[in-house]
Amino acid sequence: MMGDIYALGVNFKTAPVEVREKVACSRKDLGKILTYLKAASGVEELCILSTCNRVEIYTFSPNPESVGLLADLFLDLKGTPEAKDCMFIKKGEEAVFHIFRVASSLDSMVVGEPQIVAQFKEAFRVAREEGTSGKILNRVFEKALRASKRVRTETGISRNAVSVSYAAVELAKKIFGDLKKAKVLLVGAGEMGELAANYLKKIGCTLYITNRTYERALKISQDLGGSALRFEELEDYLPSMDIVIVSTGAPTYVITRDMVLRSMRKRNYEPMFIIDISVPRNVDPEVGKVDEIFLYDIDDLREVVEANLKDRLKEAKKGEIILWDEVKKFMIWMESLKVEPLILDLKRRVRDLEKKDPNLRKIVFRAIREMKRNPDVASIIFRIFTEEVEDVHRGKGLSYVHNRTDGA
């Protein structure tokens, strides 16, 4: 039964966006990937968290070799064996601490950003639905969310709303100055894109929304107070836009270099700011080489983000103290699993005797508590109590059991 918890994968700290976009998992494919990896690798439980900033696998396995195989199978499935150079792997307490940090947003590019909690919940929901998580990872999930809640309520990491979307708007201000007369086009319905568009709308920008599904564009435009445009006419609208935010789930480039070159000629080479928050990227990186185009992808926003995070980083140190407290509690629970067979055996042996002697139930409860608290001496406690049970069978009392367990 016993094994170790592992966390492995790539994130914005270990791999550039070019690598992360290649190993990203869509919601549509995630179920099949989980089922295949669990069966092929031999791990007992696993879950995959795939966001724009990380693709991480959380797993439980009694066999370390199966975890190495899991990593290789995943990268082979994605056709990116070279990404192994960017992959991290953590084990045991270190892995649990990492998972708790992720769920609490202490490991996010934007410390304190709220989106990770929903993404974390969704990842484990899919794993449960597909039957790839179980007793261990479900407990990790439950305790990670508890830790996350403690960090948010007991520290100030959520003060002063900061996110990648907010960072994009701050960057636009630095480039354009006054944004009140700017025309903004939101391409796609990604959450971070919508947030950025909403910030810009509050500043006073004129907002336009386009999406492959026109009805979706209409819905967003009603929510944000903008105008919906037809996606197939994207290039026709592009020349009149000052800021373009791209946040779609498309697997290919939505905006190309040739498209932008034609648009710039029509707008007399007036500057245009393009923010590509998509992973995989939806704007051809060559667009950034066009004169008067300011192109930023999600990694480029890091510098702006970090400038807004000094206060949160101070609070994050308090958060990590809270996390270690929760991690220690979880590891005690993990250790207690080692004595489960002994506890079950003890309960089986005293089941009938408890009915005859009500004092025995209290003593057994104390024994089980001590066995969980001190797994290293659980076998000694078990032996003492089984001897007492045999004494009961022979008609002897339980008068000295309490003192013997104290000295075990």
Catalytic residue among 25, 47, 52, 205: 52
pLDDT score of 121 = 96
Q: For residue 255, what are the contacts with CB-CB under 8 A and spacing of at least 6?
A: 187, 234, 238, 244, 246, 274, 282, 283, 284, 287
pLDDT at 47 over 60: yes
pLDDT at 342 over 80: no
In the CATH scheme, what is the homologous superfamily, with its name and number, of domain 4-154?
A: Glutamyl-tRNA reductase, N-terminal domain (3.30.460.30)
Contact criterion met (CB below 8 Å) for 209 and 197: yes
pLDDT at 405 over 50: no
d(CA 132, CA 165): 33
Structure tokens at 102: 């992720």
pLDDT score of 197 = 79
Report percent pLDDT > 90 for the chain: 54
At residue 58, what are phi and psi to the nearest 5 degrees?
-110, 130
pLDDT score of 74 = 97
pLDDT score of 160 = 58
Mean pLDDT of 292-298: 91
CATH number of 164-307: 3.40.50.720
For 248, counting Cβ atoms within 10 Å of its Cβ (0-12 exposed, 13-18 middle, 19+ buried), the class is: buried
pLDDT score of 104 = 95
Mean pLDDT of 333-343: 72
pLDDT at 318 over 80: yes
Model confidence pLDDT, tens digit, residues 281-291? 999 999 999 98
Q: For residue 329, what are the contacts with CB-CB under 8 A and spacing of at least 6?
A: 143
Cis peptide before 64 (omega within 30 of 0): no
Between 104 and 384, the more confident residue is 104
d(CA 111, CA 104): 9
pLDDT band at 272 (very low <50, low <70, confident <90, very high): very high
DSSP string, 316-374: HHHHHHHHHHHHHHHHHHHHHGGGHHHHHHHHHHHHHHHHH-HHHHHHHHHHHHHHHH-
d(CA 93, CA 103): 15
Contact criterion met (CB below 8 Å) for 67 and 8: yes
- Would you call 86 a catalytic residue per the annotation? no
pLDDT at 398 over 50: no
Between 111 and 130, the more confident residue is 130
Domain ranges (residues) in the chain: 4-154, 164-307, 340-406
SS3 44: coil
Q: Which single residue is written with the structure tokens 């990670």?
A: 144
- Please say whether the dihedral angle defined by the alpha carbons of residues 72, 74, 77 and 79, taken in this order, is positive or negative: negative
pLDDT band at 401 (very low <50, low <70, confident <90, very high): very low
For 278, counting Cβ atoms within 10 Å of its Cβ (0-12 exposed, 13-18 middle, 19+ buried), the class is: buried
pLDDT at 376 over 80: no
Same fold, 4-154 and 164-307: no
pLDDT at 96 over 80: yes
Q: Using the 8-state DSSP alphabet, how is residue 126 labeled?
A: H
pLDDT score of 2 = 79
User: Of 52-66, 156-170, 310-324, 382-396, which one has max mean pLDDT?
Assistant: 52-66
DSSP string, 277-293: --SS--B-GGGGGSTTE
d(CA 248, CA 258): 20
Between 267 and 204, the more confident residue is 267
Between 361 and 327, the more confident residue is 327
pLDDT band at 407 (very low <50, low <70, confident <90, very high): very low
Mean pLDDT of 186-210: 83
pLDDT score of 34 = 97
User: Of 93-102, 165-174, 335-344, which one has max mean pLDDT?
Assistant: 93-102
pLDDT score of 161 = 53
pLDDT at 377 over 80: no
Q: Which of 58-62, 136-140, 301-305, 396-400 bottoms out in mean pLDDT, i.e. has the lowest?
A: 396-400
Mean pLDDT of 168-183: 81
pLDDT at 337 over 70: yes
pLDDT at 400 over 50: no
Q: 0.85 exceeded by the pTM?
A: no
Q: Which of 63-77, 107-121, 150-164, 216-230 bottoms out in mean pLDDT, i.e. has the lowest?
A: 150-164
pLDDT score of 164 = 76
Q: Which of 23-37, 52-66, 161-175 bottoms out in mean pLDDT, i.e. has the lowest?
A: 161-175
| Nearest one of 158, 193, 210 to 52, comparing CA atoms | 193
Mean pLDDT of the chain: 85
Model confidence pLDDT, tens digit, residues 232-242? 999 999 999 99
pLDDT score of 408 = 42
